[in-house]
Amino acid sequence: MNLRHANHTIYVGAGSNMANRLDNLRKAIDLLNQLPRTSVKKASAVYHSEPLGFPAQGWFYNAVFELRSELNPEAFLLLCKRIECLMGRPADHMKWGPRIIDLDILLYDNSTCSQKHLTLPHPELSNRKFVLLPLLDLANPIHPLLGKTMQELLETCPDTSAIERTEHTLLTGS
Ligand code: AMP
């Protein structure tokens, strides 16, 4: 297979708990759509979720996007970080703190990778309801390392934080 021109399926988790959270998610979709040889195909419902780790901050709006892209994982990660930066997120942000936008690569095809700057699938994927629930709006893929579907992972997910599905939509037709 010619990997350089292959169209990869990427699931991106997005979250925002600052300023206009819905606008931030929509802006992130616009900017992802502007990346070279990349398009956002679907977006989940928007979920309202309790912050984890550092509770003295606003609740999040979370969603998952399904993309097709010819970019390799490294290039795609770099461009996601650039979008976060462009939208006003400081590079030296606090790990669990408030954020205008957070973009995580949840799945990149069935790829696996375990470097600190890029771990695939995302290391917290199976531990977070705010990722598993929106992802399940779009698909129920098998986790390439754990060998379980997202639905199965949700059933054993240790996350007990509050989360609710909202009526907001991000993309028409999805
Ligand atoms: P966060 O605070 O969630 O934005 O974490 C960002 C850090 O996680 C960055 O230094 C990334 O290089 C690293 N990272 C590792 N794996 C991933 C991934 N699958 N998606 C996004 N960031 C990742």
Q: What is the pLDDT of residues 39-81, one digit of tens each?
A: 999 999 999 999 987 777 899 999 999 999 999 999 999 999 9
Distance (Å) from CA 118 to ligand 1 centroid: 6
Residue 25 within a domain: yes
Q: What is the pLDDT of residues 85-99, one digit of tens each?
A: 999 987 777 677 778
Q: Give percent of the chain above pLDDT 70.
A: 93
Q: Whose CA is nearest to atom 23 of ligand 1?
A: 118
Residue 1 within a domain: no
Q: Whose CA is nearest to atom 17 of ligand 1?
A: 118
Please say whether the beta carbons of 2 and 62 come within 8 A.
no
Please say whether the beta carbons of 31 and 38 come within 8 A.
no
Residue 171 within a domain: no
The domain tally of the chain equals 1
Question: Looking at residue 79, which CATH number applies to its domain?
Answer: 3.30.70.560
Whether 128 shows a pLDDT value over 60: the answer reads yes
How many angstroms separate the CA atoms of 87 and 10, rounded? 21
Supply the range of the domain harboring residue 119. Answer: 8-165
- Number of the ligand 1 atom closest to the C-alpha atom of 117: 12
Predicted TM-score (pTM) of this structure? 0.94
More confident residue, 11 or 172: 11
What confidence score (pLDDT) does residue 3 get? 53
How many angstroms separate the CA atoms of 64 and 21, rounded? 14
